[in-house]
Amino acid sequence: GAMSHLPYFCRGEVVKGFGRGSKELGIPTANFSEQVVESFPSDISTGIYYGWACVGNGDVHKMVLSIGWNPFYKNTKKSVETHIIHTFKEDFYGEILSIVIIGYIRPERNFDSLEALISAIQEDIEEAKRQLDLPEHLKLKDYVKDFFNLPEGKIINNH
């Protein structure tokens, strides 16, 4: 289920998503390509997770991540969308996004309105921040930096 695969390391190119995160939700997300999404364990639970993320060779930031079908938007393809808890000055399509998923917040669910969805996401972000400030998760951040700074071509978890 949710925790058996954690921590889960992944890296891949950031591709254009549905364009909803920033525009409709005010919560920009970085999307992985279908190949990266398909490489996730098939039995990993859909839902909301938290962990650490890094774009290119940049700093490591807190992130919250959604794995699933986005029932509110009735997607037919599974997606993995990462919201990095940091303000970037510009888009980073084409950059390599490295993530480590370390915890699970809640299962995926549908919402009656866009407002309800946005408020749930805001709560998820607050929960991720709280969790990632815990000493055991902060400790992992330093270890994660080593993974993120691996030379290109180094393979972890088959990625």
Q: Which sequence positions are flagged as catalytic?
A: 81
**Nearest residue to 140 via CA among 31, 53, 12, 13:** 53
* Ramachandran assignment for 151, one of left (phi > 0), alpha (psi -120 to 50 degrees), beta (any other): beta
Residue 138, Cβ neighbours under 10 Å: how many? 11
Would you tell me how many other CB atoms lie within 10 Å of the CB of residue 109? 14
